[in-house]
Chains A and B, each alone.
Chain A
């Protein structure tokens, strides 16, 4: 559905994207995560042809993003925290305005989404709160059942209640849609995303399915029979290694249940107990971000 190849974007001297490549399979919910300024919004702006790449290619629905025409745009939904809609129109007036541009617009779905998101149709867009505007953007993106939905920081600044309403509205209508969602609110992506890409300073550190990611990351606590000392050479898959008393903790990034115990013993010596716990997406993200920052500092 989306293929990005060696994408570069420069804003004068600042290089926002540095040779980014990834793909989003059809039917997946791809989460692009990264800290603020990592380049998430830039990618989505390029995908929607709001920005032009400096070099490289981004294809959506089989078309170069620079050549998106109304034929492709009727199949793309877009929700962003920074989306300017005509402030002096009411919710209903703007929906009425957009409807004729989309041949597949489903009025029943529009009414259902409007009810579900609890948006006041008679209120002017300029008078809506931040959260309501995001819901408004979702209302304007769902009724035509887009094949591809691009969500740029959709949870930013939302209170939990609105966030739940937003997610409910989204998930109910998700159906066969392919979703690309950018966020640093990792708690919200957990349970939604099927695939994930981790972005740091304009580079994609990895891309894989959530199942694989959850499978290979473990928070490990090893209790040794002796005073712990870090091994002379820390395996590259171990991140954030710390030793205190006879306890060593680290994050294993290539967890393999069958070989893990033996590998730990070979590196740390006599072991009394090994405790490995699956990690939340937030913990994985934090660990990777710290490791990236440390390696950059080194």
Chain B
């Protein structure tokens, strides 16, 4: 009977489905234009806003499909018909997946193939997006809509739910700030995918339980309570503790032995931190609400060509008698021994303390313990593309095109990928005929998901790099500048994670006042 009910729903809602499908096609088209060739402000604006609008549009469509045969209520004719509930539920799920995700899948498939990607990679990213949307959007909204009578009620409930999320979010933010940002350690980090997978698991269990109670037993009150319960559980998953999550990531390291010899130690001979000129003094002790101290550290055991980034860091200070007087997260250190601008291995670890606490502790001996979770990267691939008019396909980088920006100050490279984007990379201009190179721009976006990262808006990754060769103010001079561009090329270097690991530094005794910046 699934197909029979499907045909009935199609008759009732095909116009809405067609409108959403057309909107999805337009959105994909705009994204495709913005990805590679079009810089117009209108296309950019549409590319930024249409995907979010589509999410809301899809939410309405999912709710509309479910509410064609609403579960709560006393007047629906279908309730007294011998319609097998299992068939009805499966039909709704099938219809939702086809109507909401089908056009997205098709659009991604067509655009991916039209962009010259292989059928296998396009199928993979399109399927991955469909799966992601299923957990992120379809199942939660489906379960949510099943506990409402009609669209008005669904809208009111959604507003109430959004309000609760905002209240909880504000409350969590307040708690997190009070706990020096140690309560939601995994959020927006490279291992944030574990919290995300936890939430997907919660969504799956919630949908299974709620839909079973609704479709087979019509327990609307209980199901509504469960919506809030699982919503709360998803909220709690934001507080996923760092240590166990990172321990899993350590086990997933491609080459754990690579970091075996890497060590980190307090090295007082490095001396106090010298801030760069022009920095606002209000960040220093006594001037504001916070006070910064900089502890000198030396990293050793890194190979040339490696890059080290901190995924997470926490500082603890112990007063007399070993009493914990401060616990907070720290922006960790980064050591780049790769590329043209490789830096040394000495670093200062900044710790931001409440000014009142600093004043109280600055003259006293304290013990400090710094806990780090690191990822070590090594150079994996290197490519070159003509600086102007380049059009190349590079594994791990994607399909890229280069051109001069409108101001004539930088080369813009736009890339589109049918796979997960690079985590760390460097890019610079090089003129091989003259042997000159510009400084390398280096950046990391720690993201260790085993799947393509968050393909909510778009199945394809796209990224843009702007490489300057002229300073409009005339302050900086580049070795490779405008006239050399026709003979120059952009060099792209990709770095892949080798090992995730932890290190701790214990400083038995120090005076915070000794480590103010100069």
Contacts and interface: CB of A to CB of B under 8 A. Distances in A.
A binds B: yes
Given A86-B8, A86-B12, A101 B77 contact: no
A48 B4 contact: no
Interface residues of B, number: 17
A86 B67 CA distance: 11
Contacts of A76: 80
Interface residues of A, number: 28
A83 B84 contact: no
Contacts of A51: 74
A70 B8 CA distance: 19
Contacts of B68: 86
Contact of A70 (B4, B74, B75, B84): B84
Interface stretch (A92-100, A177-185, A213-221): A92-100
B11 interface: yes
Interface in B291-308: none
Given A86-B12, A86-B68, A70 B77 contact: no
Given A82-B75, A86-B8, A97-B8, A70 B82 contact: yes
Nearest to A82: B75
Contacts of B82: 69-71, 73-74, 101-102
B12 A88 contact: yes
A45 interface: yes
B94 interface: no
Interface string B1-14: 10010001001100
A295 to B, nearest CB: 32
Contact of A78 (B1, B8, B74, B80): B80
A83 B12 contact: no
Nearest to B79: A50
A202 B407 CA distance: 82
A85 interface: yes
B81 interface: yes
A41 to B, nearest CB: 9
Most chain A CB within a 10 A radius of its CB, from B1, B11, B81: B81
A48 B218 CA distance: 13
A133 B301 CA distance: 83
Contact of B12 (A73, A89, A98, A100): A89
A76 B80 CA distance: 8
Interface in A89-114: 89, 93, 97-98, 100-102
Given A71-B82, A83-B75, 7 more contacts: A45-B74, A51-B74, A73-B80, A86-B68, A100-B1, A101-B83, A140-B77
Interface of B: 1, 4, 8, 11-12, 68, 73-77, 79-84
21 contacts: A45-B74, A50-B79, A50-B80, A69-B82, A70-B83, A73-B82, A76-B80, A82-B75, A84-B73, A84-B75, A84-B76, A84-B77, A85-B77, A86-B12, A86-B68, A86-B77, A93-B11, A97-B4, A100-B4, A101-B1, A140-B77
Interface of A: 45, 48-51, 69-71, 73-74, 76, 78, 80, 82-86, 88-89, 93, 97-98, 100-102, 137, 140
Closest 5 CB pairs of A and B: A70-B82, A73-B82, A78-B80, A84-B75, A74-B82
